[in-house]
Structure 1
Amino acid sequence: MSKLKVGIIFGGKSAEHEVSLQSAKNIVEAIDPSKYEVVLIGIDKKGQWQLNDASTFLLNEENPALIRLNASERGVAISPGKDSGQFIATSGSTPMDQLDVVFPIVHGTLGEDGSLQGMLRLANVPYVGPNVLSSAICMDKDIAKKLLSSAGIQTAKGVSFTSNQKEQITFASIEAALGTPVFIKPANMGSSVGVNKAQNEEEFVQAVEEAFLYDHKIIIEEAIVGREIEVAVLGNEEPEASLPGEILPQSEFYSYASKYIDEDGAGLAAPADLTPEQTKAVQESAIAAFQALQCEGLSRVDFFLQPDDTLLVNEINTLPGFTAISMYPKLWEVSGVSYPDLIERLIQLAIERHQRTQGLKSSIN
């Protein structure tokens, strides 16, 4: 049986570029070479697509703080075709061997927000992860919170502002509405990039300025007293939830460095020390949130578990990290699904969804 060609698209013009490089590295190392032929397509920080070799695609690959994409002269473009998109090597405009499925592990904006998914949808190429709509919804924390609320799923109290409302943002009004401390976040960003905790006016003003560096809309949320619980969800029409895990930050909160650079920056209890009733409740809530936002393939659902057992959804991450210390693969590992098996299931879910979509009519004739 011939191997499936799996295109791994990684990197990108996002502040999470380096996280994506780490994720790609771990997927390449975990994927079963007897079943899959990997084609690496890196996107540099200027947005240029390039074809890379698995043995040389990263620089400083063992150092998360210094990891870099190794520049390649072999550019890549995509030309949507009649049946499926054709990837083209730009030097000589040579068609590449057709990819059977794409694993788009581009975190953050222009990768996780529906942009890349829309391009792959237009090109008619199967791809891993949620579709255009759910990717866009989950990337915008403000919209996601509103939809979760309409589905009866609780989230932390918060308010959002766009850049043209900046003059309306005052520490006094926020303190009156949400108390202190508060968290200030870019609405469309992940991996805790641009996120700060503010306890006074000076910290607040600085945090608002930083958040607006990453997005034109920000969210300001109340600080929640509770345990940070995360659940990995896997599946299309009948999703499954992993055993929950608990983040045990060693710093003020679960920062970018704690997630991806400092292996000792946060502890991870996997599975979390929960009662059977708490475990069932958080798994059911994770699937409910996953389905409410119409996710497919995979997502990680993050919660705050309050002392009275109330669950608040913090966010849903539709393309969670696949680094060596990332929660999503770790949670499935403690739930009995190995990293290679997880990659295989994600690929098969992508193909199954594509086949289901292909069965829809595209013409009234």
Structure 2
Amino acid sequence: MIAPKKIFSSFIALALIASPLFAQSPAPAPHDGINVLILGDSLALCGFGKRLDERFRESPSVNATFTYLTCGTNPLSWLKEKPYSNIKTHCGFVSMESLGGGMMREIEDVYGQTRGHTPGSHPVPKLEDLLVTKQPDILVMQTGTNLFDLFPDKRSVNPNRHAAELRNFLVPFINKAVRTPSNLRKIYWVTSPTSGRVSKEIQDFVFEQTRSDVGHVAHVIDSRTLVAYPYHHMEPDKEHFLGADMDQWADKVFDVVERDLSSQPIASLQPLSQTTIAQNSVTEPTPPAEKPKEQTLQVRAKLISKTQPVPVNEFLPYQEFLVGYLYEVTRVIAGEYSENQILVMHPAYIKLEEQRLGRWRIGRTYRLQLHELENTVWKTVKSKDDSGLINLQPYIRVQDEMRHPDHAR
């Protein structure tokens, strides 16, 4: 039997080999024209990012292209604000940067680039720095898949709660993009293709909320209309894929951007930071780090149900995974809590190492010291909850919160 890690290693390696960008030959000579910044998550590492980078580099209208692909990221990961200011990616990183004179610098650290290779840790580049140092005219932001983990049961939507949570991840990014003094003139927001691991209701909700929160600034591209599901070469998580479908997705995104840019010369547009959009940007929600995280909830509670984790190959290339445990509250020791039951997310895997959850036994009562999951870097970690109680705000034990590889110490 092939080990799960090796399956995904081969998967990523094939995606990289399939692209000529990783050859050692120099990049095509730059042309006078626009500077392009591409940001992407693990889906981009499966071929989308390289293909899109290639299309822009080949375009006679492009002067320079800067591409950064980091596994496990969400929009806040690219910002300097806490709790993501020092976050690193541990499951794959690629960068491709124009140097001028037809040269390109590449950094590649992904599963399977050599036999048995596992990626190291890499700081996630920060948008504020990239806008100043690279001075892009356009930004292509591919993201969204990891936001599906705001919905632990993968089926249901609580509109009021989930809209606010999504807004917390989307608005700070778009505000930073338009307020940072730079040459940035256009933003293209590439949403997720169809996912087989969450319901259509969730995917529709995330897309509509994204369009509502960032559509006043960015051209929001619905990737579900660009590539058909199921994919021909799909991972067990029913979300990651590679091959011709990835190329098709990237090519169609490029076509959308190219058509839009051809409708109006980019040089005729003002930098976003100099427009009324920057002056009248959307009111920003309270960042997670500024919420009253010190308000620890302490309860005595009886464990009444446990969610079993999925196999490792169903959440690769990610390295952490949470499961929902449902407790019946018998006493509130400190803090405020009014529900009879409480949902606590426990780490089942950290750095792909299985955690010892056997000591948590149904029917036993435990004293729990908790923080709201929303205020932590665990918020968009892959997770599963079979309780079906989407009205309950998820919590995490304070002790477990500190075990995240990127927990701010």
Answer yes or no: same fold by TM over 0.5. Answer: no
- Normalised to the residue count of structure 2, the TM-score between the two structures is 0.25
Q: Greater Rg, structure 1 or structure 2? A: 2
Q: State TM-score, norm by structure 1.
A: 0.27
